[in-house]
Structure 1
Amino acid sequence: MSRLDSMLRRFTAQRDGLNWAAEQISTQDGDVLDMGLGNGRTYDHLREVLPERRVWVIDRVLQCHPSCVPPKENFLQGEAEPMMAQLAEQGHKMALAHYDFGFGVKEEDVAEAARLSPTIAAVMAPGGIIVSGQPLVGFEPLKAPESIPPERYLFYRAA
């Protein structure tokens, strides 16, 4: 598979997974968390499909497309652990979270996701959904929507 085809497959899976997760939380209270702003595409999609929800964003740097800059009060700049600890201390709970941190080296990305899993759990609302490009630990795995190839994106429910 070409890199272009692989990227298109990843983006389609991401969109379909986020749309599915948004439907799953329709009756649940809580905010939304986008972990890893990057270019801002996912954040832009989340604020479009969940306009009634507060969408928090965590990233080390703000370098997204100008149309995708989150409001200052919703952007937490810095390392993930202290930013999520801040959310937890303030009592914010997430009905939906999207995990997209990574270094681009599979082994490092998997280790980082495992290390951050307890921190993510601390900000999740009971029954909240996590959509992730990396395997997380300590959450209930969910079956991916039919349109998403196995292991392309991972889905979890918080306890």
Structure 2
Amino acid sequence: MSRLDSMLRRLTAQRDGLNWAAERISGQPGDVLDMGLGNGRTYDHLREILPKRRIWVMDRVLQCHPDSTPPAEDFLMGEAEPMLHRLAAGGHRIALAHYDFGRGIKHEDVAEAERLSPLIAKVMQPGGLLISGQPLVGFAQIQGPRTIAPDRYLFYTA
């Protein structure tokens, strides 16, 4: 599979998974967390499908498209560990989290996801959903939309 085809497959799975999860958290309390802002495409989509939810966004730097810039009070800039501690200390509970940290070096990205998993668990609303391109630990893995290959995106409940 070409890198272009792989990217298209990933983005389609990401969109379909977010849409699926947004429907499932309807009526549940809690905010949304987008871990890894990047260009801001995912954040922009979350704003569209969950317009009444507060959407927290974290990344090391703010370098997204100007149309996809989160409000300053919802953007947590810096390393993930202190930002997750900050959310937890503020009593914020997350109904839907999207994990998209990584640099594309698989073994490093998997290790980072494993290391961050306990901190993510501290901010999750019980029964909240997590969607991730990397395996997370300490959560119950569930089947996402049947249109998404099981190895492409992973789905969990807190």
Same fold (TM over 0.5): yes
**Counterpart secondary structure, 2:26:** coil
Q: Please name the residue that 1:40 is paired with.
A: 40
Percent identity, please: 74
CA drift at 1:27 = 1.5
**Counterpart secondary structure, 1:34:** strand
**1:104-115 equivalences in 2 (<5 Å):** 104-115=104-115
CA distance in 1, matches of 2:8, 2:100: 16
**Counterpart secondary structure, 1:18:** helix
CA distance in 2, matches of 1:99, 1:145: 17
**Counterpart secondary structure, 1:47:** helix
Report Cα offsets for 1:55-107 as digits up to 9, x if no partner.
Answer: 00000000000100000000000000100111100100000000000021000
Q: Which runs of 5+ in 1 are unaligned?
A: none
Indicate the RMSD between aligned Cα atoms, in angstroms: 0.5
**1:1-159 equivalences in 2 (<5 Å):** 1-158=1-158
Under a length normalisation based on structure 2, what TM-score does the superposition of the two structures give? Answer: 0.99
CA drift at 1:2 = 1.3
2:94 maps to a residue whose letter is M
CA drift at 1:121 = 0.2
**Counterpart secondary structure, 1:6:** helix
2:136 maps to a residue whose letter is L
CA drift at 1:116 = 0.2
1:114 maps to a residue whose letter is E
Under a length normalisation based on structure 1, what TM-score does the superposition of the two structures give? Answer: 0.98
How many matched pairs? Answer: 158
Q: Which runs of 5+ in 2 are unaligned?
A: none
CA drift at 1:145 = 0.7
Runs of 4+ with >4 A deviation: none
